[in-house]
């Protein structure tokens, strides 16, 4: 089928790093995807071009008012050499949802999915194959109108860049220490918490810095009104196992609808576990930590899949969770998702999709 996405290949391919040297988001592939929006004309000119700088007038809207959204997904090299994306359709839909939240005109969801495939196909040689490695795909939409008035822009650019990334857990899954903050807030009802937007990350930095200075790895975010209800951890969704119940805060305004969150909830329900999407207070969690019923706690996100929590600090008290070790359910969830991603286990929900590599002329 002829593609509406044009391809211009680079004449100067870069040297590809060794799989063993990969970290996160430091090297980028040979190509990028671009598409433009102009009021009256709509989204147009989807294309894969050599990777390079975007030049912008200093008055470009995104540089001033932050009208920017992004997403993040991965492509995995399978044992037979083929390449599969994990939940591309869900990521495409979420990018559109984020666009809508920031008054950015939505794109055709199927074209977004095909844009992921087009960039990965063009840079297929960059998909690493060492265990635990993958190609991280970063679709981003920014306002490119040149103006200083505060209003939704009339021009946008959608771009995708890709980065080969190493195993998040080179030395095995490792628990982190997290600090619940009652001084900083990430998102509020009616705000942008449900959107994957640059602004939320800017809002998280000072709390993250404070947590690091206090010897913790991540911030546990509480709600912005009562400073009581657990929202998210760092830039991940949060889950915990108290007794025989697995609990995660419900979506509903301030929480990002994580694809990993959804995948893990689905697996646990498949396994017949008792899973609750309900509000849970920091006091309930601290009490469960003290009385020993808090068995496991973990964050979920595309980069790490799961990130076990070994210690939780709040108001000067620190509780250890599961002896500071990775719990059995956390480990099983990690192993199960990763096995589906690399094609080592059946994929009953059809979460992965193959990227067809065109035969070179
Ligand atoms: C991206 C993100 C997540 C995790 O979403 P995934 O789709 O699982 O990667 C969770 N919380 C926030 C705030 C995020 O930006």
pLDDT tens for each residue of 47-80: 999 999 999 999 999 999 999 999 999 999 999 9
pLDDT at 117: 98
**Ligand 1 atom closest to residue 193's alpha carbon, by position in its atom list:** 13
Confidence of residue 95 (pLDDT cuts 50, 70, 90): very high
On the question of pLDDT at 173 being above 90, the answer is no
CATH for 6-167, options being 3.40.462.20, 3.40.50.300, 1.10.240.10, 3.30.470.10? 3.30.470.10
160: its two tokens: 């995708």
- Of the chain, the percentage scoring pLDDT greater than 70 comes to 99
Judge if the beta carbon of residue 302 lies within 6 A of ligand 1. Answer: yes
Q: List the residue whose alpha carbon is closest to atom 5 of ligand 1.
A: 258
Confidence of residue 2 (pLDDT cuts 50, 70, 90): low
Judge if the beta carbon of residue 260 lies within 6 A of ligand 1. Answer: yes
Q: List the residue whose alpha carbon is closest to atom 13 of ligand 1.
A: 235
Sign of CA dihedral 27, 33, 37, 43: negative
Confidence of residue 172 (pLDDT cuts 50, 70, 90): confident
190 CA distance to ligand 1 middle (Å): 18
**Ligand 1 atom closest to residue 302's alpha carbon, by position in its atom list:** 9
Q: Indicate the pairing of strand 245-248 with strand 352-354.
A: unpaired
94: its two tokens: 């979420």
216 CA distance to ligand 1 middle (Å): 20
Judge if the beta carbon of residue 161 lies within 6 A of ligand 1. Answer: no
Length of the chain: 361
Q: List the residue whose alpha carbon is closest to atom 14 of ligand 1.
A: 235
**Ligand 1 atom closest to residue 72's alpha carbon, by position in its atom list:** 9
Judge if the beta carbon of residue 196 lies within 6 A of ligand 1. Answer: yes
| Residue showing tokens 């969830």 | 333
List where CATH 3.30.470.10 sits in the chain: 6-167
Candidate of 136, 138, 196 to mutate for ligand 1, largest count of ligand atoms within 8 Å of Cβ: 196
Judge if the beta carbon of residue 263 lies within 6 A of ligand 1. Answer: no
**Ligand 1 atom closest to residue 94's alpha carbon, by position in its atom list:** 7
Confidence of residue 158 (pLDDT cuts 50, 70, 90): very high
Judge if the beta carbon of residue 186 lies within 6 A of ligand 1. Answer: no
* Residues 327-359 pLDDT 10s: 999 999 999 999 999 999 999 999 999 999 987
Residue 227 CB contacts under 8 Å (≥ 6 apart), including other chains: 182, 185
Closest to 70 measured CA to CA, from 138, 137, 156: 138
What phi, psi does 299 have (nearest 5°)?
A: -95, 155
Secondary structure percentages of the chain, helix, strand, coil, to 5: 25, 30, 45
**Ligand 1 atom closest to residue 301's alpha carbon, by position in its atom list:** 8
88 CA distance to ligand 1 middle (Å): 14
pTM value is: 0.96
Closest to 192 measured CA to CA, from 224, 227, 161: 224
Q: What is the CATH number of domain 176-341?
A: 3.20.10.10
Q: List the residue whose alpha carbon is closest to atom 10 of ligand 1.
A: 236
Judge if the beta carbon of residue 133 lies within 6 A of ligand 1. Answer: no
pLDDT at 169: 79
- Give the 3-state secondary structure of residue 31: strand
The overall average pLDDT reported for the chain is 96
Confidence of residue 105 (pLDDT cuts 50, 70, 90): very high
* Residues 266-289 pLDDT 10s: 999 999 999 999 999 999 999 999
- Average of per-residue pLDDT across 121-138: 97
């Amino acid at each position: 089928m002829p593609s509406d996405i044009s391809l211009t290949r680079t004449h100067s391919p870069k040297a590809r790093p060794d799989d063993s040297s990969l970290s996160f988001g430091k090297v980028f592939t040979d190509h990028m995807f671009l598409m433009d929006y102009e009021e009256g004309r709509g989204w147009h000119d989807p294309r894969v071009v050599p990777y390079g700088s975007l030049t912008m007038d200093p008055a470009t809207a995104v540089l001033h008012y932050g009208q920017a959204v992004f997403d993040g997904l991965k492509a995995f090299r399978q044992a037979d050499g083929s390449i599969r994306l994990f939940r591309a359709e869900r990521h495409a839909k979420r990018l559109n949802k984020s666009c809508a939240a920031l008054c950015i005109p939505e794109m055709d969801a199927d074209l977004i999915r095909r844009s992921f495939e087009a960039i990965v196909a063009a840079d297929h040689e960059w998909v690493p194959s060492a265990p635990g490695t993958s190609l991280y795909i970063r679709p981003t939409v920014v306002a490119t109108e040149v103006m200083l008035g505060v209003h939704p822009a009339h021009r946008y650019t959608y771009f995708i860049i890709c980065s080969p990334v190493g195993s998040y857990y080179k030395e095995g899954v490792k628990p982190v220490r997290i600090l619940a903050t009652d001084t900083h807030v990430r998102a509020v009802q009616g705000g942008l918490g449900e959107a994957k937007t640059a602004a939320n990350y800017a809002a998280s930095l000072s709390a993250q810095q404070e947590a690091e200075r206090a010897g913790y790895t991540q911030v546990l975010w509480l709600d912005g009104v009562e400073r009581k209800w657990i929202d998210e951890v760092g830039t991940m969704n949060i889950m915990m196992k108290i007794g025989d119940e697995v609990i995660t805060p419900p979506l509903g305004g301030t929480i990002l609808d994580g694809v990993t969150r959804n995948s893990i909830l689905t697996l646990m329900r498949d396994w017949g576990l008792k899973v609750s999407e309900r509000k849970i207070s920091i006091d309930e969690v601290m009490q469960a930590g003290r009385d020993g019923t808090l068995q496991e706690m973990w964050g979920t996100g595309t980069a790490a899949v799961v990130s076990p929590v070994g210690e939780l600090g709040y108001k000067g008290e620190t509780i250890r969770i599961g002896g500071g070790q990775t719990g059995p359910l956390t480990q099983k969830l990690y192993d199960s998702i990763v096995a589906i991603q690399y094609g080592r286990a059946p994929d009953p929900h059809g979460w992965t999709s193959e990227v067809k590599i065109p035969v070179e002329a």
